[in-house]
């Protein structure tokens, strides 16, 4: 059992930061929202309707490992989703529809600060630029929900701060509902309007999989982010801050 006793209601436009020690089900929770995995019981609803059990355009996702297509230019990476959605059989639009898709892609590329690199290929981009491209790929489809699985974990601290500013700006512009997994507690407090702490309060050494993790703290982060931080026990803060970042090679 990975997760148990989860009951959560999230309003549209919230930015939920998911924190917790390794193995507490944060990424599993994200995969359930994406549709990559199915829950053994219970339901996940979007606007009162069951969430589709496979990934679709209502949910965008950005992973820690750069998930762009290496054989496509920046522009073609972003326009690809629009082409496939508009012409699922041929994977290519024509005429006015193709021009409209490219204009939409160019606007998103500009929004993430890559307008100067539209003709480049991913191999010629830095790590931060590749993550900007991955964010553009996700947002160009205008999803209802954006899922982020440690998207900045492999970036240098200075680049991460730039990406934080970009993400917050895009979130404010789009009004997206965001779920972001992070091992960096300060990142969660910086970005989130809500902090969800995953933990496994029950353990059985003889049967390690008998109990699952659950959301043990659900903190609202609005104006008093520093005050909200004090609502967490010191021992839990120390545990979370001592967990090293997991970098996927």
Q: Is residue 79 part of a domain?
A: no
Do residues 146 and 60 touch, judged by C-beta distance below 8 A?
A: yes
Query: Which among 199, 231, 201, 227 has a CA at the least distance from the CA of 215?
Result: 199
Cα atoms in the 13 Å half-sphere on the side-chain side of 51: 22
Q: Is residue 124 part of a domain?
A: no
Do residues 46 and 144 touch, judged by C-beta distance below 8 A?
A: yes
CA–CA separation, 33 vs 27, rounded Å? 10
Which of 114-128, 162-176, 229-243 is least confident?
229-243
CA–CA separation, 34 vs 25, rounded Å? 14
Q: Is residue 223 part of a domain?
A: yes
Q: How confident is the model at residue 37 (pLDDT cuts 50, 70, 90)?
A: confident
Domain that holds residue 46: 15-67+142-242
Query: Which among 159, 171, 152 has a CA at the least distance from the CA of 60?
Result: 171
Q: Is residue 186 part of a domain?
A: yes
**pTM for the complete prediction?**
0.83
Q: Is residue 134 part of a domain?
A: no
Residue 223 CA to its chain's centroid (Å): 23
Q: Is residue 150 part of a domain?
A: yes
CA–CA separation, 34 vs 43, rounded Å? 13
Q: How confident is the model at residue 229 (pLDDT cuts 50, 70, 90)?
A: very low
* Alpha-helical runs (H) found in the chain: 26-34, 74-86, 95-111, 127-139, 157-174, 185-191, 225-229, 234-242
CA–CA separation, 58 vs 81, rounded Å? 13
18: its two tokens: 């998911």
Q: How confident is the model at residue 48 (pLDDT cuts 50, 70, 90)?
A: confident
What pLDDT is stored for residue 124 in this prediction?
Answer: 95
What pLDDT is stored for residue 6 in this prediction?
Answer: 84
Q: Is residue 7 part of a domain?
A: no
More confident: 100 or 245 = 100
Strand, coil or helix: 211:
coil
Ramachandran angles phi, psi of 20, nearest 5°: 155, 165
Cα atoms in the 13 Å half-sphere on the side-chain side of 18: 25
CATH number for the domain harbouring residue 148: 3.40.50.300
String of b and e for 17-38 (b: at least 16 CB within 10 Å)?
Answer: bbbbbeebbbbbbbbbbbbeee
Q: What is the pLDDT of residues 121-143, one digit of tens each?
A: 999 999 899 999 999 999 999 99
If one counts the domains in the chain, the total is 1
What pLDDT is stored for residue 246 in this prediction?
Answer: 38
Cα atoms in the 13 Å half-sphere on the side-chain side of 173: 11
236: its two tokens: 């839990």
Do residues 144 and 177 touch, judged by C-beta distance below 8 A?
A: yes
Q: Is residue 72 part of a domain?
A: no
Do residues 127 and 154 touch, judged by C-beta distance below 8 A?
A: yes
Q: What is the pLDDT of residues 179-222, one digit of tens each?
A: 999 988 889 988 999 999 998 877 766 666 667 788 888 999 85
What pLDDT is stored for residue 50 in this prediction?
Answer: 87
Q: What is the mean pLDDT of residues 50-77?
A: 89
């Amino acid at each position: 059992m990975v997760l148990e006793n989860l009951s959560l209601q999230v309003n549209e436009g919230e930015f939920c930061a998911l924190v917790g020690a390794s193995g507490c089900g944060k990424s599993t929770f994200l995969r359930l929202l994406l549709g990559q995995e199915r829950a053994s019981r219970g339901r996940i609803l979007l606007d009162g309707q069951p969430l589709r059990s496979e990934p679709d355009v209502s949910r965008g996702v950005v992973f820690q490992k750069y998930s762009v297509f290496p054989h496509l230019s920046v522009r073609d990476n972003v326009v690809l989703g629009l082409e496939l959605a508009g012409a699922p059989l041929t994977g290519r639009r024509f005429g006015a529809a193709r021009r409209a898709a490219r204009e939409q892609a160019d606007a998103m590329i500009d929004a993430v600060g890559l307008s100067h690199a539209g003709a480049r290929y991913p191999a010629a981009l830095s790590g931060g630029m590749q993550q900007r491209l991955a964010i553009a790929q996700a947002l160009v489809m205008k999803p209802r929900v954006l899922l982020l699985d440690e998207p900045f974990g492999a970036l240098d601290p200075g680049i991460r701060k730039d990406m934080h500013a970009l993400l917050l700006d895009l979130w404010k512009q789009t009004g997206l509902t965001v779920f972001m997994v992070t091992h960096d507690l300060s990142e969660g407090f910086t970005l989130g309007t809500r902090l969800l702490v995953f933990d496994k309060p029950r353990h059985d050494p003889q049967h390690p999989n008998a109990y699952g993790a659950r959301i043990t703290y659900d903190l609202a982060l609005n104006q008093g982010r520093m005050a909200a931080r004090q609502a967490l026990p010191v021992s839990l803060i120390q545990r979370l801050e001592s967990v090293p970042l997991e970098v996927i090679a």
